[in-house]
Amino acid sequence: MKFISALVATSLCFATLLWAEPGKDKEKEAESPGHIVDSGSFGVFVNGRRVATETFSITENNNGSVATSRFKTEPGIDPAEQTSQLQLTPNGELRKYEWKETSPGKSQAVVLPNETLLVERSYASPDAKPEEHPFLLPASTSILDDYFFMQREIIAWKFLAMACHKDNGRISCPVAQRVQFGVLNAHARSSMLISMEFAGKEKVPVHGAEQELNRITLKSELGEWSLWLDDQFKLVRILVPEDNTEVVRD
């Protein structure tokens, strides 16, 4: 069972494999070179001013999925640039996570599963000796790093697959049903529990036009985030009121 396809229907929705028909041609699946599940960019706004852009791509084939991302501040903002690559197995467990800072520093980190642990090896610079940080967490733990909003989309898909069901060909999500996840923030070298719940459909402004979107609330010890996804379950908007921060798909 492919993980990402199982979370999203019609190219980005649920059902391709989660509710797949039993006669699927496995030989054709093995020959598949993979496909793009989602790609694009998010603008990051603080107090209404665009301060950064995240460019991302999520691809999948029968060997699993790979999500790559690049975060870069806008001209006139203190220079900062980071990249990440998240590799997942076909059942959605962590295979490998890489994070790199290219500006202003040159630090990097790699997270790998090791039996009952996740092990992070961090490097203060390309020539530095690695520091090892073990976390007593399973490979099913989700990655939720600081500057990669695409990872919020992947966790939202995971939540929807767990909390929702298919009813007469349509996806039905109970309002206020809460699901908890363990997450690892590699950049901060910390882990925590988050919870997500479906808050129903809302009309919200996106690029000056009103859209009806599906709202999911993400809560953690760090605060509350509101995520809005369209009917193809693509992440469109994030709002973090405490930080006056808004993230919008370009």
Query: What's residue 12's pLDDT?
Result: 35
H helix count then E strand count, the chain: 3, 19
Query: What's residue 33's pLDDT?
Result: 61
pLDDT tens sequence across 173-209: 888 889 999 999 998 999 999 999 999 999 999 999 9
Query: What's residue 62's pLDDT?
Result: 87
Mean pLDDT (10-residue bins), the chain, 250 residues = 43 33 43 80 97 97 93 96 96 95 94 94 91 95 95 94 78 85 93 95 94 95 94 95 95
**How many domains would you assign to the chain?**
1
Cα–Cα distance, 235 to 230 (Å, whole number)? 7
Query: What's residue 169's pLDDT?
Result: 60
Q: Which two structure tokens, joined as six digits, stand for 81?
A: 């640039």
pLDDT tens sequence across 33-59: 679 999 999 999 999 999 999 999 999
Query: What's residue 29's pLDDT?
Result: 46
Cα–Cα distance, 84 to 94 (Å, whole number)? 14
With b for 16 or more beta-carbon neighbours within 10 A and e for fewer, the 9-47 pattern comes to beebbbbbbbeeeeeeeeeeeeeeeeeebbeeebbbeee
Query: What's residue 59's pLDDT?
Result: 95
Q: Are 59 and 42 in contact (CB under 8 A)?
A: no
**Which bin fits 154, alpha (ψ -120 to 50), beta or left (φ > 0)?**
alpha
Query: What's residue 164's pLDDT?
Result: 86
Query: What's residue 19's pLDDT?
Result: 29
Contacts 24+ apart (CB under 8 A), 127-135: 133/189, 135/184, 135/191
Query: What's residue 32's pLDDT?
Result: 55
Query: What's residue 3's pLDDT?
Result: 43
Q: Which residue's structure tokens are 């930080």?
A: 243
> Range of 199's domain?
3-249
CA distance to 70, 95, 165, 187, 195, per residue, from 112 (Å) = 21, 7, 32, 14, 24
Q: Are 247 and 228 in contact (CB under 8 A)?
A: no
Query: What's residue 219's pLDDT?
Result: 96
Query: What's residue 173's pLDDT?
Result: 84
Query: What's residue 156's pLDDT?
Result: 95
pTM of the model: 0.86
